[in-house]
Amino acid sequence: MNPVASLELRSVDLQSPRNNQAHHTQEMGLKRLIVRRGQPFMLQLHFNRPFHQGTDHITFIAETGPAPMELSGTRATFSLTQTRQGNVWSASDFTIDSNLLSVSLFTPSNAVIGSYTLKIETSQGQGYSSTHSLGTFFLLFNPWSTEDDVYLPSETLLREYIMMDYGFVYKGQERFITSWPWNYGQFEEDIIDICFEILNKSLYFLENPSKDCSQRSDVVYICRVVSAMINSNDDNGVLQGNWGEDYSLGVSPLEWNGSVAILRQWSARGGKPVKYGQCWVFAGVMCTVMRCLGVPTRIVSSFRSAHNVDGNLTLDTYYDRNAEMLSTPKRDKIWNFHVWNECWMIRKDLPPGYNGWQVLDPTPQETSSGLFCCGPASVRAIREGDVHLPYDTPFVYAEVNADEVIWLFGDGQVQEILAHNTSSIGKNISTKMVGSDQHQNITSSYKYPEGSPEERSVFMKASKKMLGSRRASSPFLDLLGSRDSQDQPAQLQLHLARTPEWGQDLLLKLHARRVPNRTHPRGPIKLQVRFCAQALLHEGDTQGPLWRQIVHLNLDFGEEIEWPLLLPYINYRNKLTDEKLIRVSGIAEVEETERSILVLKDISLKPPHLSIEVSGRAEVGKALRVHISFTNTQTVALSHCTMVLEGSGLIRGQLSNDLGTLAAGHTIQIQLDLYPFKAGHRQLQVLISSNEVKEIKGYKDISVAAAGAS
């Protein structure tokens, strides 16, 4: 009797279209196998003869990283069995159809993520064995799996925080929040390769590749590596920060529409940092990377966000008697707004109760374990003041809770406290509302209501832990526990009389009201109010004065006065930064008490409006006519205008046009055809930039039908 021929592999079908669909990775393409851990996937093996269960033996070998080892979790060997063996690598539930073997492969829910090679070893009894390559596959985190540390039990939230490839960054200031569209593009076909390239260029990998890869099963570890690699302060990270005004060697942070162009440029140049980023760019790119890897992620903006270097929970600001905000050598800052990420995960490294959203901040502010990264810090730990819990919780707590002390400075020394604000930091903390283009205020998830007993109690608890022995000798000890407001004979407020638009004069009103106080309970008072306007930089600093005015007021008891103020366009025309932010400060000297009263107003200038319309029905592969209209409502021409269009599933890469100079009052109308290549909900982002105004942005949500759909 002739012996049975050796089992030899003729071909393999990784069934990428079917598997990718089942694993929610079809948007990344159907040619390569991209699966999520903790979930089975099917493949078909075509042999030279039928598989004989009793005599043929098949062992699968999956490997990732430069030196795969079973002990490190980067190599797995597992034999073909009839049923699955639990939360371990397995090949089971097979069927035989002539020479075709269909088999289900399962990866454990705590497997290392990465790019894997897959092989089989075939043998008969103790005899000859041969090895055959089956190909490669990517393994990602699985927020659909109940056993995965990133499990998110809501299909609605998964659509928003994993599958949505566009979103918004919220900028401006607390009373004038502006929405910036951002193209995440995490499903563009090369982005997954770039994400793992980022991991492979981290200092952790370069120092010890095997150890680094073995830790890639841990979402907390991955988050910290990515947070460090998005900035380039320690390594060849993705983005170089620039908070100045000279972007001539790169691209202004305001001129990015999304993450894809940044990631592709970084990869194409061999890992050379891309110029330039600021907080919203860092956070936008990190959101792309984390969603691509399978971690539910969102962008969060906090208005008036503290950068408290020394951890004393107090930030000091100084003004002179002319109401000019003074620069200081201290690195403490109050950002107009700051943008970070939240990632959803189980925190097995923390006591129970701290799962859920965790803060990750890739903007390089302070080091953590020697590298410029931040988090993950549990949002619940921040709310409860549990600042002893890792990672970087004290820093994030201070970002949203620090107290602000404003001083009057003169003759080389501090003269009086103008204000002690316990609720001016961490305002209107916002993220994109699920299923909507609107923003959602999530401040209550970070802290109790300002001024409530719970909020002050948490603040005192956190300050004791953060200040320790320093607290007893702190000159701010009384301030930290104090809730007394200053006793002043008048209340001052600044209001805008109309919407502030760039290129127009700014109209404000000073509202003054005489109120009783201990030292001067009744009778008239005289005020001399000095006003100063300064360009406000994103990180909270100011430039030199661009406008001054002095107002004299007489206030009788109970009287209220409104005084108009005009800040002409000519005063700020060439003196603002690209952010177009102005701080108007006023300091009133009360003749009767020789005390000073501070009044502040931050103004965010509204850029010109951009209109985007589409004609007809959007369908994959068919021309979609887009109409873009822009009117220069300014009193001056806009020079060197350029337009950039971007949108995942609508445009491959970017479309750019030079528009030249647009005269004051003139309108430009552009028509072009797009050819959508992906069905579903898409967003077209349009940026028009000029020498005078950098951030004229618009967007259009577009629903694209599948090809041939009726």
C-alpha to C-alpha distance for 584 and 574, rounded to whole angstroms: 17
C-alpha to C-alpha distance for 270 and 290, rounded to whole angstroms: 21
| Beta-carbon-side half-sphere exposure of residue 183 (alpha carbons within 13 Å) | 35
pLDDT confidence of 477, banded at 50, 70, 90?
A: very low
Quickly count helices (H) and strands (E) in the chain: 14, 37
C-alpha to C-alpha distance for 432 and 400, rounded to whole angstroms: 19
User: Looking at the annotation, which residues are catalytic?
Assistant: 279, 338, 361
Amino acid at 28: M
What interhelical angle do 191-200 and 279-293 show, nearest 10?
100
Who wins on pLDDT, 518 or 574? Answer: 574
CB atoms within 10 A of CB 118: 20
Angle CA 286–610–689, to nearest 5 = 60
Q: Is the dihedral of CA 185, 190, 192, 197 positive or negative?
A: negative
What interhelical angle do 279-293 and 260-268 show, nearest 10?
80
Whole-prediction pTM value? 0.95
What interhelical angle do 279-293 and 219-230 show, nearest 10?
140
CB atoms within 10 A of CB 283: 29
Angle CA 258–263–265, to nearest 5 = 105
What is the pLDDT at residue 469?
Answer: 63
C-alpha to C-alpha distance for 260 and 202, rounded to whole angstroms: 20
Percent share of the chain, pLDDT over 70: 97
pLDDT confidence of 471, banded at 50, 70, 90?
A: low
Of 234, 226, 424, 464, nearest to 334 (Cα)?
A: 424
C-alpha to C-alpha distance for 211 and 597, rounded to whole angstroms: 59
Each residue of 255-294: pLDDT tens digit? 999 999 999 999 999 999 999 999 999 999 999 999 999 9
Q: What is the DSSP letter of 634?
A: S
Whose tokens are 């050796």? That residue is 6
Q: Give residue 76's Cα distance to chain centre.
A: 36
Tokens of 222: 């991955």
Of 459, 445, 529, nearest to 494 (Cα)?
A: 529
Q: Is the dihedral of CA 341, 347, 350, 355 positive or negative?
A: positive
Each residue of 70-126: pLDDT tens digit? 999 999 999 999 999 899 999 999 999 999 999 999 999 999 999 999 999 999 877
Q: Rg of the Cα trace of the chain?
A: 30
CB atoms within 10 A of CB 518: 7
Cβ proximity of 74 and 213 under 8 Å: yes
Each residue of 218-246: pLDDT tens digit? 999 999 999 999 999 988 899 999 998 89
C-alpha to C-alpha distance for 240 and 260, rounded to whole angstroms: 16
Q: Which residues pair with 502 in a beta bridge?
A: none
pLDDT confidence of 136, banded at 50, 70, 90?
A: very high
Cβ proximity of 33 and 18 under 8 Å: no
Who wins on pLDDT, 605 or 431? Answer: 431
Cis-peptide into 276, omega within 30 deg: yes
What is the pLDDT at residue 77?
Answer: 98
What is the pLDDT at residue 1?
Answer: 38
Q: Looking at the predicted structure, is the pLDDT value of residue 594 above 80? A: yes
Cβ proximity of 6 and 125 under 8 Å: no
> What are the start-end ranges of the H helices in 82-174?
155-158
